[in-house]
Chains A and B, each alone.
Chain A
């Protein structure tokens, strides 16, 4: 592996959380998100092979990912997003939002580990809700039917759960800082 390819690979892997957050946030399908991520890497590797110099790798990757995401949404038969200017506007907003931050998140792995521990400590019902939503990718209406609740109640439960997890992560990081 050449030195430049090594550097690019290291940077690409280091900024995976940031890029995956962008992709998964817009695609909302874990498999498709992984697919887009891989495709971005292939395109990046191709460019490097051709000797193209990429100045801002993070921005370049996001641009490629954005095109792939828009293409994905266009291919969705029932997504009602073909030529949907509101969706395109939303994608631009998200891109803008990611443009405004550094691709290397502070204490990313600590945050991930803390979140893993917080999820592990959740009551069974809450973990079940997360599994249905994130692992199985079930829709809110499916979850509501499975849990015998209204869709509004499921949305509220998810909002509360995410807030509780965010607080839990911050607490754990604080304790780590204090060496406890």
Chain B
């Protein structure tokens, strides 16, 4: 008799013969075998999750390795530039001179390397690119900030009213974006990294931190403990507001110690007469969720009619879609308009645009008018099984996109300014009267998120021939 585990693997593989299927059902007549089957199925689901985590971890490690490679190559450059270039040595005297020169150069390299590593060991992070209007206070004294300047533990970084800077931590992918009029102190201790936000706002993209060494960000009112996530923390005289885009942050009031766990897609505020609770970043009637098995959870934030959405997923073509969908329900005719401002992607195939969809199922009939960096705007639709895509424009971001539904006909429009629209395509797609309309973003990669920014987002309950971008009684930004 074939062992149960083997039969289950073959069942998983859909390669059970008729005989083996009978054998499997025979096995399951006993309660003991059914309990084993339940455990096996549970184990399979966990194994699937573990494999996906492992894949994401390997990807992050590869990225981190690439970062370290740059550091190593810098040392190489340093050593090579200190060594004399090879020249022909004509006589014995000249050869001796060169030997002395070689020895001196080697000593210089050694001393240089010692100094380099001694100073480098104190370096916690570096500025990335241009640091505008930035002052670094080291031991209370202002330092000259150059491009890619080092930030040491204990340094206080300040930005002016028109300033801003990005700080990247060494040997990890943690990034800190300082907005204007911000003051933050960076410190590395045995317990982990400490960031003290005294004023302004910072966006932190934190790489997973070592066990028992969480990154802690404090403000005068609150403390946020981070394990590996992306969030925005802003402080004013009265309150501190935390918006989590990805991962989980524990946010606590320093006054009474009350804490709340804030997940991706939620925000919380600590301040006087403000209840400490996690609230959604999406106001009603908007919702967001991942469609299909995307690998990494997406998130969206809507501020007025400006939306930032992050999404993973391999694609949205053929018979199954994988993307992050920010949506609201639509009954009958209507339309969705947005301007794709930017799409920051990890893969060239990333897409962002407006979507109309019958359901939240991965293979639902849909229409997707999207912008893809490098190739312009494409109109993708699926009426039954497989989707089709047509190139409809060569625009670059920012670009205006609009989908309108009238009966079973969905029409795609493009516009240079949101005022005059030109028809880019039209398809008959049978869907239920009640559908979902909104914004979609996919990274073409299950282990990375693409970030897209939209503005002038509006959903209308009845399609009009030539809409204006900022009016309309039934529009719901």
Contacts and interface: CB of A to CB of B under 8 A. Distances in A.
Interface of A: 17-18, 20-22, 24-25, 28, 30-35, 38-39, 42, 79, 86-87, 89-90, 93-94, 96-98, 100-101, 105, 111-112, 115-116, 118-120, 127, 130-131, 134-135, 139-141, 151, 155-156, 158-159, 162-163, 165-166
Contact of A93 (B15, B25, B40, B360): B25
Given A31-B292, A31-B362, A120-B57, A90 B25 contact: yes
Given A86-B22, A100-B35, A35 B41 contact: no
A122 B13 CA distance: 22
A131 B289 CA distance: 25
B52 A135 contact: yes
Interface in B1-22: 3, 5-6, 9-15, 18, 21-22
B361 A139 contact: no
B46 interface: yes
A134 B325 CA distance: 25
B44 A25 contact: yes
14 contacts: A17-B42, A24-B48, A35-B361, A86-B22, A89-B25, A90-B25, A93-B29, A115-B50, A118-B50, A127-B54, A130-B51, A140-B10, A140-B13, A141-B15
B44 A90 contact: no
Contact of A22 (B41, B52, B293): B41
Given A28-B14, A140-B13, A116 B50 contact: yes
Contact of B55 (A34, A39, A89, A135): A135
B37 interface: yes
Given A120-B54, A159-B5, A97 B362 contact: no
A90 B48 contact: no
Name the prevailing secondary structure of the A interface residues.
helix
A60 B221 CA distance: 46
B38 A98 contact: yes
Contacts of A120: 54, 57
B53 interface: yes
Contacts of A18: 42
Contacts of B53: 116, 119
Given A28-B14, A166-B43, A39 B361 contact: yes
Contacts of A105: 42
B47 interface: yes
A25 B41 contact: yes
Contact of A139 (B11, B13, B42): B13
Contact of B31 (A79, A86, A100): A100
Contact of B45 (A20, A32, A86, A158): A20
Nearest to B38: A97
A135 B52 CA distance: 7
B170 interface: no
B51 A131 contact: yes
Nearest to A142: B13
Given A101-B38, A119-B50, A159-B6, A79 B28 contact: no
Given A32-B362, A93-B34, A116-B53, 10 more contacts: A22-B41, A24-B45, A35-B292, A90-B24, A90-B25, A100-B35, A101-B38, A134-B47, A159-B6, A162-B47
